[in-house]
């Protein structure tokens, strides 16, 4: 069957000649087939490692000079060439070329063009295997720092809103059914806790990844008298990785990053889902700002929460990135295998998805407005203070809780039969179920009284939430 060209096939790179690869082609008579180049090249995505590659090469070069493995003169030429390349990349003038396969060889080839033979000495006592492992660790470390900033900003926006709404009553739900009233501030602070644990997970992973693979060379170490502590130090790592095989072949740091991202994605997705509910006209608890609402091209009345929906969807993408990379790595014998080139795209995609989601969520939270009246009306619906009534029976009539639960259930049924709220039952009606009830009970039936009474540690009482906001500021910001 001949391959039919379709509009969705990507443009192929033109392999003009079949000349052997200048980096590793010594033993070859002919260059790679066009399709080989196509499947082998990673430059289209690993160009994102350019800065880390230059930084790593600089540290390696400094060490080679310090250990007199290369001359000062060659070292100086390499450093000035790298500087020039760094500038070309920053200015968008660098030509990334498929025939040089990946970012490492693109930079080395350019270095050779710029400084000639000395360029060939940079790869002494190094392999692309320890080079890419180093670059990627540096990249993920920077990504963690960006995510940390994003999570921090989101927590700050949530705490700001929570402070405005320590008294705002809303329905607390279980099974999406009215359960007990809570305050909106309390609800938002629940997410502050989740994102706080997410930050902790990223920080844990960062501490574990901060060891340097450079100097592990291809897999076995090197016969040159290198100083791995020096390169590790220069690159901000705590120490060199202990085992050369492990150094070039494990990608657990990438998986840990994606696992943490997936968990943050779960939290973002739940919040996003609640926002979608809250801003629907049926709930009408919140209004998203114009900046975070979209219109419909056919229905003029619509204000759609597209950002929240996309955040909800992007979390699924992050889970895919994680499970894809888990599957890629699980069967690989030590040490390096080219499969591992496929480690980058899921990590880049997971990072991009999470980073953008955090920024959009922060914007939505910071600019939304609350419809306190609608929240309060809904908070009282569904006999949400029935538990307060049962607690009253326990406290004032010394009734066992199970019996109080039963009596309250009968009162709820009576209210339902009359088509009203619990608080609308007359005293006589209440006494027809339990003769010892007095009018004092009315006090516990309001939603404000209900939330104010939830003063146990971690509870929703406005006094608690005010304190919790201060505590959250101290712990997280």
**Which lies closer to ligand ARG via its Cβ, residue 213 or residue 305?**
213
Distance of alpha carbon 241 from alpha carbon 253, whole angstroms: 13
Distance of alpha carbon 207 from alpha carbon 137, whole angstroms: 11
Residue 224: count other Cβ atoms within 10 Å of its Cβ.
14
Q: How many CA atoms lie within 13 A of 448 on its CB side?
A: 5
User: Which residues bind to ligand ARG, rule: CB under 6 A?
Assistant: 42, 46, 102, 128-129, 132, 336, 338, 340-341
**Cβ 333 to ligand ARG shortest distance, Å:** 14
**Cβ 340 to ligand ARG shortest distance, Å:** 5
**Cβ 128 to ligand ARG shortest distance, Å:** 4
| The one catalytic residue among 7, 8, 17, 175 | 175
| The one catalytic residue among 71, 280, 289, 296 | 296
**Cβ 46 to ligand ARG shortest distance, Å:** 6
**Which lies closer to ligand ARG via its Cβ, residue 43 or residue 159?**
43
Q: Are strands 286-287 and 369-370 parallel, antiparallel or unpaired?
A: antiparallel
**Which lies closer to ligand ARG via its Cβ, residue 231 or residue 249?**
249
Establish whether 296 is a catalytic residue. yes
Helices marked H in 244-400: 244-249, 252-278, 306-329, 344-367, 372-380, 386-397
**Which lies closer to ligand ARG via its Cβ, residue 94 or residue 100?**
100
**Which lies closer to ligand ARG via its Cβ, residue 263 or residue 340?**
340
Q: Is 354 left (phi over 0), alpha (psi -120 to 50) or beta?
A: alpha
DSSP state of 20: P
b/e map 380-405, b = 16+ CB within 10 Å: beebbbbbbbbbbbbeeeebeeeebb
Establish whether 353 is a catalytic residue. no
**Cβ 477 to ligand ARG shortest distance, Å:** 38
Q: Which two tokens mark 251?
A: 């990608």
**Which lies closer to ligand ARG via its Cβ, residue 41 or residue 118?**
41
Q: Phi and psi of 150, rounded to 5°?
A: -65, -40
Distance of alpha carbon 382 from alpha carbon 380, whole angstroms: 7
Type and span of the H or E element at 286: strand 286-287
**Cβ 38 to ligand ARG shortest distance, Å:** 14
Q: Residues with catalytic annotation? A: 175, 296
């Amino acid at each position: 069957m001949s391959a039919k060209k379709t509009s969705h096939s990507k443009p192929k790179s033109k392999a003009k000649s079949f000349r052997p690869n200048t980096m590793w082609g010594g033993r070859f008579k002919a260059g790679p087939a066009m399709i080989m180049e196509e499947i082998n090249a990673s430059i289209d995505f690993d160009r994102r490692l350019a800065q880390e590659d230059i930084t790593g090469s600089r540290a390696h070069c400094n060490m080679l000079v310090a250990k007199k493995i290369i001359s000062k003169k060659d070292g100086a030429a390499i450093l000035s060439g790298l500087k020039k390349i760094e500038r070309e990349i920053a200015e968008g003038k660098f030509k990334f070329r498929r025939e040089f396969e990946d970012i490492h060889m693109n930079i080395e080839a350019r270095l050779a063009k710029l400084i000639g033979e000395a360029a060939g000495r940079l790869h002494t006592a190094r392999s692309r295997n320890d080079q890419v492992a180093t670059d990627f660790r540096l990249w993920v470390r920077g990504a963690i720092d960006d995510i940390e900033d994003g999570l921090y900003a989101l927590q700050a926006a949530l705490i700001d809103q929570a402070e405005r709404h320590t008294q705002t009553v809303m329905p607390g739900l279980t099974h999406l059914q009215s359960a007990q009233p809570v305050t909106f501030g309390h609800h938002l602070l629940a997410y502050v806790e989740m994102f706080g644990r997410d930050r902790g997970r990223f920080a844990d992973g960062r501490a574990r990844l901060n060891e340097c693979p450079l100097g592990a060379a291809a897999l076995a170490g090197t016969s040159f008298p290198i100083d791995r502590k020096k390169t590790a130090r220069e690159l901000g790592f705590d120490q060199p990785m202990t085992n050369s095989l492990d150094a070039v072949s494990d990608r657990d740091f990438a998986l840990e990053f994606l696992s943490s991202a997936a968990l943050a994605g779960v939290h973002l997705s739940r919040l996003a889902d609640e926002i979608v509910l809250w801003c629907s006209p049926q709930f009408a608890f919140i209004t998203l700002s114009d900046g975070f609402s979209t219109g419909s091209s056919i229905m003029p009345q619509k204000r759609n929460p597209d950002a929240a929906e996309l955040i909800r969807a992007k979390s699924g993408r992050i889970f895919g990135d994680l499970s894809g990379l888990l599957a890629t790595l699980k069967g690989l014998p030590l040490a390096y295998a080219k499969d591992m080139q496929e480690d980058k795209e899921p990590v880049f995609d997971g990072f991009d998805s999470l980073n953008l989601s955090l920024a959009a969520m922060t914007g939505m939270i910071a600019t939304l407005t609350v419809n306190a009246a609608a929240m309060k009306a809904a908070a009282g619906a569904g006999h949400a203070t029935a538990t307060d009534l049962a607690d009253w029976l326990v406290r004032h009539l010394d009734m066992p809780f199970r019996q109080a639960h039963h009596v309250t259930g009968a009162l709820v049924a009576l209210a339902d039969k009359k088509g009203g709220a619990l608080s609308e039952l007359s005293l006589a009606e209440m006494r027809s179920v339990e003769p010892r009830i007095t009018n004092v009970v009315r006090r516990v039936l309001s939603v404000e009284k209900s939330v104010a009474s939830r003063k146990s540690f971690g509870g929703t009482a406005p006094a608690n939430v005010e304190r919790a906001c201060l505590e959250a500021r101290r712990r997280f910001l």
